Amino acid sequence: MGSLARAYGRPLAAVIAGITLVWILVLILVPLGAMLEQSLWWRDAKGDVSLQIDRLYNEISTLQLDRAGAADPARQAQLDAAMAQKQAEATALEAQEKNPPKTYGLDNFTRMSGLHLYIFVRTILYALMVTGLALIVCYPVAYVVALASGPRKAIILTVALIVPYAINELLRVYAWLMILDYRGVINGVLAWLGFINLDAREWIPFLENPSAVFLAMIYTYVLFMVFPMVNTLETLDRNQIEAARDLGASTLRIHRRVIIPHAKPGIAVGCIMTFMLSAGSYSVPAIMTRGQGGDWFSQLVYRQFYESNNWNMGSAYAVSLLVVCTAFILLMMRLFGVGLRDIAK
Amino acid sequence: MRGKDVRLDQVSIRFGDATAVQPTDLSIHAGEFFSILGPSGCGKTTILRTISGFIEPTAGRVLIGGEDMVGKGPNERPTALIFQNLALFPLMSVAENVAFGLEARGVAKAERLRRAQELLELVALGGYGDKKPADLSGGQRQRVAIARALAVEPSVLLLDEPLSALDLKLRQHMRAELRAIQKRVGITFIYITHDQGEALAMSDRVAVMSRGRLEQVADADTLYADPATPFVATFVGEQNVLRGTVATLSDDDAAIDTPVGRIIGRAKGPLKVGDSALVLVRPERITLGGTDDNQVPARLTARNLEGAAVHLHCAAPAQNFTVTVTNGPEVRALPDELILSFSRRDALVYPEGTLAHG
Amino acid sequence: MSSSTESAGARLVLNIYIGLFVLYLFLPLAVMSAAAFNSFDYPSVTQWRGFTLQWFVALAHDQRLLQGLANSVMVALGVIAVSIPAGLCGALILTRLGQRSGTVLYSVLVSPVLTPGIILGISSLIFWREFGVPGGLFVAVMAQSSFIASYAMLLFLARLQRQDRTLEEAALDLGASHTLVFRRITLPFLAPTCFTAAVVAFLQSFENYNTTVFAIGGEWTLVTEIASRLRFGLSPVINVVGVIFVALTLIAATTYVLLKSRPAR
């Protein structure tokens, strides 16, 4: 902080520190805290409160009948007092019904239904599979772009990768929706070949299969694996490969002992980004299932917020997702021995 | 422009646990060309940055023109610094660079560009105002940096090895130019260098620094002829170094037992009989076959011709000597066996201490 | 200067693989683009009913999509206004901070990049409701800025690492005030990065969906509008939007290649 003030003077340093602090607090930490807080409480809107209120009003009505029939002033006063008491109880309960008290606890997390838990686990498994598959598909691509082609070809290839990467994620998913839809490209080709008849609604329902989401997701996020790997591989001195070959190493051994170790930070970053994006993806499942299916965890979260209007439960789901992603990041960093600073390059 | 004096009063600087500058007193006169000479890492740049205000001293005071500089930033001091890499602003034209200090002082644009033009003419770059620094040669950039620093009319100009990036020829030319500019503008120059040739050639006085301490502050002749410490003696110019123990002491003279026998020299520090001591003799103060106080027989092993001078490498038992003589026909006819002789005034005896070259 | 690490056979296999991969990337986009010109009212390339530009006209009259476009631009401008200063300040602090405290701050500031987008949208939605601000364009700006500022910061950090710090010192030494140094030396040095960061921020914001869909509430951007339409079936108008996106990206990429492959001085 002192060096900041020395470099830019006290007033400017204060402004710089102030803006950064606002960013940290207003945009990052406090909203996260608010979400965590929201996930830790719920309001008991139990039906028995309403029942109690109904019972009290019934009792009051009975007492009123009694009072109308009672002649003794002492008895009347007694009934009046009883009625006033019941009325007070009812009012208190009504207030509680309108604005039930917050209860803090972990129930939002533990109350996750079996089906939701299953979807949660499946989402994570799918995200892991997307990540693994993307890694296998992308490694040769990154290798060629970074190492095995001349500078001109490398530029053209990079652009060929950047163009689809730069096109809106939503449109990339949409393209797959077109291909796999009931009247989509594949069914259209099949109909043209005479295997099916579209007018008789004989199409193959690709979209109703969860693997449609999976397919589109690989397509959408595969490039987040390529670029980090290209970036690290580009810094590898090609002479190292030549030297290894010269020393008699096989192609496989060169990759295993020279290229992959060098690419480690890039692989870690690629895996982290791909996993994080696919585990938390809302666009791909929402579009591929047209908002109908509930196959992906992010869709459950969205419903909690915008359909069930249960923000507490939704926050708990979001926190669970965040925890898994954070754990994955920490695991990858540990596994690949990279720090946060390597990640952000 | 008028120079101001600079005084360091018990200044010491620490970075964390490391001491960069030991408590130091130093007085630099107004209008003086003063150099601080020392090997890299000796603390000379730290002192310069302290004077210019980038570093606050851990203890002690910096006074410029008698005024305490405590709490004053670099932009509030009557100093200007020429950086080692010159630090010309790459996005501004040469003229804008020179005018920047005036811009900072709120001088109107026309006026400051006029002054910049004057200064550029002073450094013989009158036609280069519209160029970018990147379009200039090394020597031209150097002069832009000088003009830019002079534009703010500093009382003290601080120079941090500004010539080190130039080639030898240009460096020698710029030395003369810097000295001439200093004479013309009359302000105090404080010049940092590790090159003794630069320091000795340009300066009125030189401070020799080692390991965060001032070893000696003196004019060039005194540093060379009468160095205060073995470090100064060996850092400035060449020396033959002999090690031995003190045999006898009388007045200024000390007799030292060395591997080549007893040498008599001038005592330059607190010595006691029996102490180990260093005897330093300059190569050019040794004569061949003379009859001076000290005489050492040696065998000529090599001759290095360096134009006007010749370096003779001689081996005595357990001790090598270098002797520098003027070139001439007699040097070519020298016998293999020589008698090296030197006066007791030219053999300086110091208590064991740090030498400049290991 | 292709490296001769592979045998010719391996090279061939690699080239075929890359070719297939690029095909895999582009074919769906090509299909989507082509369908925009088919006069069949269901986006298709297999059922070709003749070339038409009628869907472009339909888009030009689609008020909701046009309003979505305007909203997207507004949100993106808002994101630039928030995230560029924030990213710049964060980067300035980080370059001046010591190793240890720097790492902590760095972790906090890049964490949004590594957080799933829906989490950022949800947390912003909850946070701003506390202040009575419902989901909408403003909350979308805030939610997007939280991670786009991190991207901007990373760009500024990379630039600042290449900064010659003696320039600022020299200006200070010549008597400039700290604000003048910042204005005349630091900002001009960072200006190209400000531009790059603003472009990146605009694009990131414009095409963001996962964060926005949670933060947008009852409002809509171009992207959320497209997404919600897909629920009710496909329309060639969406393909037209796709064609425009693809065309703009291709133009930008071609310009980039031409600039990059121009012989260096």
Residue B313's nearest CA partner among B300, B326, B331, B297 is: B300
Q: Which of A9, A31, A298 sits opposite C118 (nearest CB)?
A: A298
Lowest mean pLDDT among B29-43, B292-306, C35-49, C141-155: C35-49
Cβ(C103)–Cβ(A33) below 8 Å? no
Same domain, residue pair C92 and C192:
yes
Cβ(B217)–Cβ(B207) below 8 Å? yes
Q: A87 is in which domain, residue-wise?
A: 49-99
Residue showing tokens 């020799």: B208
Q: Does the CA dihedral C210-C213-C216-C219 come out positive or negative?
A: positive
Among A99, A133, A168, give the residue marking a domain's end.
A99
Q: Minimal Cα–Cα distance from A238 to chain C, Å?
A: 8
Q: Minimal Cα–Cα distance from C86 to chain B, Å?
A: 25
Same domain, residue pair A218 and A90:
no
Tally DSSP H helices, then E strands, for chain C: 12, 0
DSSP per residue, A176-200: HHHHHSTTSHHHHHHHHTTS--GGG
Q: Which two tokens stand for residue B212?
A: 């965060």
Q: For residues A286 and C231, what is the distance between their CA atoms, to the nearest angstrom?
A: 8
Give the residue-averaged pLDDT of A299-325: 89
Lowest mean pLDDT among A149-158, A264-273, B129-138, B170-179: A149-158
Count CA within 13 A, CB hemisphere, residue C217.
16
Same domain, residue pair A124 and A246:
yes
Residue showing tokens 């297999």: C46
Q: For residues A247 and A243, what is the distance between their CA atoms, to the nearest angstrom?
A: 6
Give the residue-averaged pLDDT of A169-188: 85
Same domain, residue pair C16 and C137:
no
Q: For residues A128 and C220, what is the distance between their CA atoms, to the nearest angstrom?
A: 32
Residues of chain C with Cβ-Cβ distance to B105 below 8 Å are 175
**pLDDT score of B280:** 94
DSSP state of C134: -
Same domain, residue pair C115 and C9:
no
Contacts of C27 (CB under 8 A, 6+ apart): none
Same domain, residue pair A226 and A92:
no
Chain B residue at shortest CA distance from C174: B101
Residue A16 falls inside a structural domain:
no
Residue type, B156: V
**Contacts by B42-45, CB closer than 8 A, 24 or more apart:** B42/B209, B42/B210, B42/B211, B42/B212, B43/B13, B43/B209, B43/B211, B43/B212, B43/B213, B44/B192, B44/B194, B44/B209, B45/B160, B45/B192
Count CA within 13 A, CB hemisphere, residue A6.
13
Residue A104 falls inside a structural domain:
no
Residue A334 falls inside a structural domain:
yes
Same domain, residue pair C190 and C96:
yes
The pLDDT tens digits of the residues spanning A34-70 come to: 999 988 888 766 656 777 888 888 888 888 888 888 7
Geometric angle at alpha carbon B123, from B118 and B124, rounded to 5°:
90
Is C163 in the B-facing interface, judged by CB distances under 8 Å? no
Q: Which of C15, C122, C227 sits opposite A314 (nearest CB)?
A: C122
Residue type, A206: F
Same domain, residue pair A274 and A137:
yes
User: Do B101 and C174 lie within an 8 Å CB cutoff?
Assistant: yes
Same domain, residue pair A198 and A59:
no
Residue B25: in which H helix or E strand, if any?
Answer: strand B18-28
Residue A257's nearest CA partner among A270, A244, A246 is: A244
Polymer length of chain B: 358
Same domain, residue pair C71 and C154:
yes
Q: Which two tokens stand for residue A88?
A: 């007070």
Same domain, residue pair C163 and C214:
yes
Residue C40 falls inside a structural domain:
no
DSSP state of B344: G
Lowest mean pLDDT among A146-150, A271-275, A326-330, C102-106: A146-150
Task: List the CATH number of the domain containing A264.
Answer: 1.10.3720.10
Same domain, residue pair A166 and A222:
yes
Chain B residue at shortest CA distance from C175: B75
Q: For residues C186 and C167, what is the distance between their CA atoms, to the nearest angstrom?
A: 9
**pLDDT score of C98:** 73
Centre a 10 Å sphere on the Cβ of residue B299 and count the other Cβ atoms it contains. 13
Residue C175's nearest CA partner among A26, A183, B222, B72 is: B72
**pLDDT score of C265:** 40
Same domain, residue pair A84 and A171:
no
Beta strand segments in B194-239, E: 205-210, 213-218
3-state secondary structure of A99: coil
Distance of CA C167 to the CA centre of its chain: 32
3-state secondary structure of B327: coil
* pTM recorded for the entire structure: 0.83
Residue C153 falls inside a structural domain:
yes
Q: Minimal Cα–Cα distance from B101 to chain C, Å?
A: 5
Residues of chain A with Cβ-Cβ distance to C3 below 8 Å are 147-148, 238, 241-242
Residue A8 falls inside a structural domain:
no
Interface of B with C (CB under 8 A): 52-54, 73-76, 79-81, 83, 85, 87-91, 100-101, 103-105, 148-149, 151-152
Residues of chain C with Cβ-Cβ distance to B141 below 8 Å are none
Same domain, residue pair C12 and C136:
no
Residue A335 falls inside a structural domain:
yes
Same domain, residue pair A94 and A140:
no
Residues of chain C with Cβ-Cβ distance to A177 below 8 Å are 230, 234
Provide the pLDDT confidence category of residue A238 given band limits of 50, 70 and 90.
confident
Per-window interface: C 105-124 vs A, CB < 8 A:
106-120, 122-124
Among C203, C222, C241, give the residue marking a domain's end.
C222
Same domain, residue pair A121 and A75:
no
**pLDDT score of C100:** 76
Q: C22 is in which domain, residue-wise?
A: 1-29
Q: Which of A38, A150, A159 sits opposite C253 (nearest CB)?
A: A159
Cβ(C144)–Cβ(C212) below 8 Å? yes
3-state secondary structure of A94: helix
**pLDDT score of C69:** 94
Q: Which of A27, A34, A329 sits opposite C114 (nearest CB)?
A: A329
Inter-axis angle of helices A169-180 and A210-221, to 10 degrees?
Answer: 140
**pLDDT score of C5:** 55
Residue C57 falls inside a structural domain:
no
Residue A86's nearest CA partner among A119, A55, A122, A48 is: A55
Residue C120's nearest CA partner among C153, C94, C85, C144 is: C144
Same domain, residue pair A94 and A208:
no
10-residue stretch averages of pLDDT, chain C, 265 residues long: 61 88 88 85 76 86 93 96 96 86 89 93 93 93 96 94 90 91 93 93 92 92 90 84 88 79 53
Rg (alpha carbons) of chain B, rounded to whole number: 24
Q: Which of C166, C167, C180 sits opposite B104 (nearest CB)?
A: C180
Strand partners, A41: A104
Among A99, A127, A162, give the residue marking a domain's end.
A99
Same domain, residue pair C74 and C168:
yes
The pLDDT tens digits of the residues spanning B181-220 come to: 899 889 999 999 999 988 998 999 999 999 999 999 999 9
Same domain, residue pair A236 and A306:
yes
Q: Which of C3, C108, C126 sits opposite A31 (nearest CB)?
A: C126
User: Do C173 and B80 lie within an 8 Å CB cutoff?
Assistant: yes
For chain A, what is the domain count? 2
Provide the pLDDT confidence category of residue A344 given band limits of 50, 70 and 90.
low
Per-window interface: C 126-165 vs A, CB < 8 A:
126-127, 130, 142, 145-146, 149, 154
Same domain, residue pair C95 and C181:
yes
Beta strand segments in chain A, E: 41-43, 102-104
User: Do C92 and A8 lie within an 8 Å CB cutoff?
Assistant: yes
Residue A273 falls inside a structural domain:
yes
Q: For residues A87 and A92, what is the distance between their CA atoms, to the nearest angstrom?
A: 9
Residues of chain A with Cβ-Cβ distance to C90 below 8 Å are 20, 23
Question: Could you report the predicted ipTM of this complex, rounded to two decimals?
Answer: 0.88
Q: For residues A12 and C88, what is the distance between their CA atoms, to the nearest angstrom?
A: 13
What do you get for the CA distance between the two ends of chain C, in Å? 20
Polymer length of chain C: 265
The pLDDT tens digits of the residues spanning B96-127 come to: 999 999 999 999 999 999 999 999 998 889 89
Residue showing tokens 């949800």: C122
Contacts of C35 (CB under 8 A, 6+ apart): A178, C43, C44, C45, C236, C239
Residue B311: in which H helix or E strand, if any?
Answer: strand B309-316
Q: Which two tokens stand for residue C85?
A: 């200063």
Chain B residue at shortest CA distance from C168: B87
For chain C, what is the domain count? 2
| Residue of A27, A37, A207 to mutate when probing chain C, most C C-beta within 10 A | A27
Residue A310 falls inside a structural domain:
yes
Same domain, residue pair C16 and C79:
no
Same domain, residue pair A89 and A133:
no
3-state secondary structure of B315: strand
User: Do C207 and A168 lie within an 8 Å CB cutoff?
Assistant: yes
**pLDDT score of A45:** 62
Residue C51 falls inside a structural domain:
no
Q: Minimal Cα–Cα distance from C117 to chain A, Å?
A: 7
User: Do B75 and C185 lie within an 8 Å CB cutoff?
Assistant: no
Inter-axis angle of helices C117-129 and A30-39, to 10 degrees?
Answer: 80
Residue A87 falls inside a structural domain:
yes
Q: Minimal Cα–Cα distance from A114 to chain C, Å?
A: 23
Is C100 in the A-facing interface, judged by CB distances under 8 Å? no
Strand partners, B341: B287, B295
The size of the B-C interface in CB pairs under 8 A is 63
Q: For residues C44 and A188, what is the distance between their CA atoms, to the nearest angstrom?
A: 8
